[in-house]
Structure 1
């Protein structure tokens, strides 16, 4: 099936420059029974895209109409039967009109009158058409619409707009090579040659749509949905992107359809890039939606069930413990016990009367802002000099015979960061054991993550996801594994430290 879909997309995309991805997504929506809205300036091949998509399906009745503000219901739903009217019945002749179509394209849909749009809402939502006293079942399988404008909020069009799950912008051709090719070729045909064996048949469509429901949404995919919903609801205080519960449900079905057409029984992270084309309402939403989807996939999706954050915190705590055991984490001062109190030794050269004078500063005064007197080695106060640490570890001396000022630093026995002379063997053994346990946890997590990535990497290729998105996902996978590698290298470094 996957090869068939690839070939089918290639066939209907022939000479459609920079429209291949739009056509692929529109085909996906058509296969899933989800409505598509194409937004773009006039002349960007929106109508042609719809006709090409119709060529991919077995279509019994194709209906296309360019709407305007003067369009009447008769032009869309069929003229009123004169014969029935004579019999006092208001019945439309729907043959060859929208109620009888199985594939429809409505161009400039938002220009239609309220009478048309209200009837269209019921038809699109329930696939029924009230024709006189009869409820007529509508065989519509695929609906596409287009416009060069987007309905403004609170204009009575929100309900209908909400039914268009896939929303694609169709910009003018951007790349010079494609533009030159466009200039030199004939206008693209509306109906390219498509092998009948490739076309999606009606019986296949019904069967596939039932099977698409059976595709699973694994836990890490559901976590990404949760994250995207949270980001759209709360991340942008001045600009919220509203997505109805109904649309969320149908978006989930659309990504299930993508997995199914790729011959998978589960949705993968790469399928979720499709959400970028389903969640925006206005053009200004697009960059916000793109960012929310990409970040959720790369951050929440790839990191799902990963213990890396917790293990990193555990490693950092263990590293601090190791450093505390092997290095002095603070300056250690030489202290002296004088008259039952601890003192720090310092030397002053405040003036020639105090040249190379040894002072003893009370340890408890360090870090305070109170004045005090130093003592000599016998514990007698030296009242000629006023001392103050000023909230620091450097002491300011004031006084002497000339009222001078000087700063002194107490003698440091072991400076911060220097290696401890000895560490107990039992401490080393305990730290090495903790490191080994941490490495085992990291390795087990890596194996589990690698296995999930391996499964997803084998099926990353999808006609519904752009190459740039796939590359972004691959890079994210690689970066996630590299982060594990860095933590394991850190463990090896710490182990070497413990053994040295």
Structure 2
């Protein structure tokens, strides 16, 4: 059994080789590798000549000499071209059997270009191969060894029920564009032309999937997934239950790759590419996801910076601010209060003073420690997931958590000044960082 660190290093090395050959495809390469490790299929939407078929071939090369099949579909493509010719020998014996060796049903990896051009004679067989890994060869069910299929299309399917079913078989989706940066354009002419080395193995994928079966999906992550579902449906983005279940499975795969026994927020980073039906929706979907990601990050970092707990304390005393402030004011001007009310408010005021001081000291200490953590954040974040492309960008999310903490501390200090007309003893914090 390979250790998680060995698997991670193999995948990082694979990413490096692919990135040298395919410019401005860093995120796509991560999506591709997670799809392969999950045993799910990937659909690329983009113009001709954007290296889609080359990337599919390179992905297969990572696994050595595994059977590979690719084909360009048209309206006139026949089942023979995809699934193999009918055996004339068997036909003599009244058996309708295809010779599938060297065709899609016997492939481990495959690439189908212009997949939505497939006609109805091909669709049903294609659906069962993609989903159940079964090819109905005459009266026999033939198990297909297919691990991963990448498909490409210049356009998305029209409102056709059969094509919609095919579209739903592709859990991972990615829009591909031409190279934009001049530096990438220059590197394109210097890219290696040799095949990528065989770094991965199907046994590794099998091992990861076996380990993923034991990975827990915590209630907090299930709740995040449900929040995501609800938020998307409010914007009229609707996904099937099957799709949501598979998204949870990919999170478990990521956790298994990183040697975790339970999914955490870092296993969700590629999720937006599993959600959209139309590429133009990705921006809105990513915004919705990022909001929930930030909330989940806050929950997962609660032990180090318990903002939720501090917020509850602040809310508790803000709700009593007017009552306590009135009590302080009446004391100063000698206002009359009955004895029981005076004793109760005196005790509550003292409790407030103590709790605000203790909370401020605790929060200040946490914030100072957090500032030290921020200095090494990119390295720490990078260690959480190999699928993160720019760890420094995620470090900004931690800065947002610190800023929220600083706002809470300012609120505590302001409330303390209002109620007790002085600063909290011993609390000095530099807000200019």
TM-score, structure 2 as length reference: 0.82
Is residue 73 from structure 1 mapped to residue 79 from structure 2 by the alignment? yes
Deviation at 1:465, TM superposition (A): 2.5
CA contact (8 A) 2:109 2:147 kept: yes
Is residue 268 from structure 1 mapped to residue 180 from structure 2 by the alignment? no
Deviation at 1:65, TM superposition (A): 0.9
CA contact (8 A) 1:104 1:142 kept: yes
Partners of 1:314 and 1:13 in 2: CA distance: 53
Structure 1's consecutive aligned runs of 4 or more residues displaced over 4 angstroms after TM superposition are 422-429, 438-451
Pick the aligned partner of 2:283 from 282, 287, 290. Answer: 287
- 1:232 aligns with 232
Deviation at 1:33, TM superposition (A): 0.3
Partners of 1:210 and 1:444 in 2: CA distance: 43
CA contact (8 A) 2:39 2:147 kept: yes
Deviation at 1:254, TM superposition (A): 0.9
Is residue 90 from structure 1 mapped to residue 96 from structure 2 by the alignment? yes
- 2:48 aligns with 42
- 1:204 aligns with 204
Q: SS in structure 2 opposite 1:25? A: helix
Q: Deviations over 1:114-170 (max 9, x none)?
A: 211221001111111111222111111111111111123444222221111111111
Q: Cα distance 1:143–1:316, how it changes in 2: closer, same or farther (>3 A)?
A: same
- 1:248 aligns with 244
- 1:471 aligns with 395
Partners of 1:215 and 1:439 in 2: CA distance: 42
CA contact (8 A) 2:96 2:138 kept: yes
Q: SS in structure 2 opposite 1:38? A: strand
Deviation at 1:215, TM superposition (A): 2.0
Q: Cα distance 1:499–1:463, how it changes in 2: closer, same or farther (>3 A)?
A: closer
Superposed, which structure 2 residues align to 1:6-21 within 5 Å?
Answer: 6-21=12-27
- 1:146 aligns with 152
Structure 2 spans left out of the alignment, 5+ residues: 1-5, 303-307, 425-433
Q: Please state which structure has a larger fraction of its residues in strand.
A: 1
Q: SS in structure 1 opposite 2:333? A: coil
Partners of 1:155 and 1:257 in 2: CA distance: 31
- 1:460 aligns with 381
Partners of 1:464 and 1:98 in 2: CA distance: 29
CA contact (8 A) 1:58 1:202 kept: no
- 1:171 aligns with 177
Deviation at 1:472, TM superposition (A): 4.3
Partners of 1:127 and 1:61 in 2: CA distance: 15
Superposed, which structure 2 residues align to 1:376-415 within 5 Å?
Answer: none
TM-score, structure 1 as length reference: 0.72
Asked which structure has the greater CA Rg, the reply is 1
Q: Cα distance 1:284–1:130, how it changes in 2: closer, same or farther (>3 A)?
A: same
- 1:192 aligns with 195
CA contact (8 A) 2:356 2:416 kept: no
Partners of 1:58 and 1:253 in 2: CA distance: 26
Deviation at 1:67, TM superposition (A): 1.0
Partners of 1:59 and 1:442 in 2: CA distance: 62
How many equivalent pairs are there? 399
Partners of 1:227 and 1:447 in 2: CA distance: 33
Q: Cα distance 1:272–1:316, how it changes in 2: closer, same or farther (>3 A)?
A: same
Partners of 1:74 and 1:244 in 2: CA distance: 32
Tell which has more relative contact order, 1 or 2 (C-alpha 8 A, sep 6+): 2
Q: Cα distance 1:446–1:147, how it changes in 2: closer, same or farther (>3 A)?
A: farther
Is residue 102 from structure 1 mapped to residue 23 from structure 2 by the alignment? no
Structure 1 spans left out of the alignment, 5+ residues: 329-418
CA contact (8 A) 1:23 1:53 kept: no
